[in-house]
Structure 1
């Protein structure tokens, strides 16, 4: 009995749908029950679809976020590697240029005056005005001796005044004083005018940061802008080491000679590497 009723209901439902289909196909307007039915179905479909679409989009966005995160991580690694390699390259490039300049400097000086140059690292600088010294990482084990001249590729730094087995102390020319028995005056001349020019660099003025060159003849061709170099006289400072540049010249204290103000060539505020000049006589003694 139940199956018969179910069967009848199904037949009725099918006929109802068929009749609605035909009636809708023939009509341009729907009745309000039909409109209500269709709108309700659409509302339910929209209500179900939106959350489903949202959830689906959420999972898709999460997947995209994961992919973007991985991509950003890779980009960060690439950027870090690039920065590291860039810094390394810049450092190596700068170091290569710096060493090339120093090599050219030493080779040029060797060819001119046949000295040996030992490169040293500055490990400490004592700026105490009463005990101003520079410490370097070469000592007696490296053939360093007292009174050896220390220079940079720019100019004269000073003299070695104490030697230990592995380290040495350098007295800079900024300690030069005509009244001090611990400093040695420098016999100097003008580059390009060696046979006509002569003077003594014997004093440094802390207030101005300048050197004084005295005992200059009134007929000396020295002029502002000239480069002052060691003359080699006195057998302490080798010939041809740049001391500085002439700022000005004036009549000396007694009116018989002139003095000149010299700007040191070496940069004492940024000493990192220096050269110890080994003369032929020192090399000969080392070999004995």
Structure 2
């Protein structure tokens, strides 16, 4: 077979050399060339298919590696997107809180100590919030606690590093742990007055009493603390007036107030520190 192959190659070479000086092939030469080309195509096509198969395998490996890289990139993008959205919302919240504290400090000379809510008690007889500031941070009992939206409650007890806050939703006439809140209407401080002394758990509304007959209070008025009573500093938003009706004895009016603050998912709160009280104690 080896000798036959060598002879065949030499034969083809001789034919090619002999053709260099001729322009026309003889009939046997044409037949031999066509036969050789026909045989070659049967060897060439399978060889091409095999070569293409191995090339496809190499391409599949490359595509697989690229897909793996794309999966990793997509996972990283998804993680970073979630992180970005969280940071963006947190940043917006901090901006809102910063604007709130600046505005309040310009209106009244109060300090706002930001605290994180670390626990919420769901005990029906003792609903409280725990914050991560205590006496070491200047927190004292009877300090008002608020959010950007409105009043949350009052500090009831303090430890060196934490404080317990009684929410305003625990306000009722017989409560020993919550003082009535003296309030007025934003923009009409000298014309309106009322007392928040009860929270109706069925309607989720505060009840305002002691409203004078000639009070100009109207629907959707903003209710704020008046500062009277010495517990709650003035100017803290409580909520909005929903309705006003004649009281039980017909001499004064009562109103229902929708709370401005939301108690769902509380994360940060502000403890209001009144410098005048601090100076008086010193």
Could you say which TM-score interval applies, normalised by the shorter chain? Answer: 0.7 to 0.9
Other-structure match for 1:130: 125
Other-structure match for 1:73: 68
Other-structure match for 1:192: 187
Residues 200-239 of structure 1 mapped to structure 2, 5 A cutoff: 200-239=195-234
Change (3 A) 1:255 1:63: same
Shift >6 Å, 4+ stretches: 37-41
1:105 alignment partner, SS class: helix
Other-structure match for 2:55: 60
CA deviation map 1:209-240 (0-9, x unaligned) = 11100110111011110000000000000000
Change (3 A) 1:53 1:113: same
Q: 1:23 aligns with which of 19, 24, 27?
A: 27
CA distance in 1, matches of 2:203, 2:49: 78
CA distance in 1, matches of 2:27, 2:52: 40
Displacement of 1:46? 5.0
Displacement of 1:39? 7.6
Displacement of 1:65? 1.6
Contact 2:127 2:170 in 1 (8 A): yes
Other-structure match for 2:252: 257
Contact 2:156 2:177 in 1 (8 A): no
Other-structure match for 2:4: none
2:196 alignment partner, SS class: strand
CA distance in 1, matches of 2:35, 2:209: 111
Moved more, 65-74 or 178-187: 65-74
Q: TM-score, normalised by structure 2?
A: 0.85
Other-structure match for 2:22: none
Displacement of 1:182? 2.2
Displacement of 1:50? 3.8
CA distance in 1, matches of 2:245, 2:42: 101
CA deviation map 1:179-198 (0-9, x unaligned) = 22222100000100110000
* Higher Cα radius of gyration: 1
- Asked whether 1:86 is paired with 2:90, we answer no
Change (3 A) 1:24 1:270: same
Other-structure match for 1:104: 99
CA deviation map 1:83-106 (0-9, x unaligned) = 343333333332222111111101
Q: TM-score, normalised by structure 1?
A: 0.83
Displacement of 1:285? 6.1
Q: Please, which runs of 5 or more residues in structure 1 have no aligned partner?
A: 1-6
Other-structure match for 1:168: 163
Other-structure match for 1:4: none
Displacement of 1:63? 1.4
CA deviation map 1:147-167 (0-9, x unaligned) = 100000100000001101111
| Count of aligned positions | 266
Displacement of 1:279? 0.5
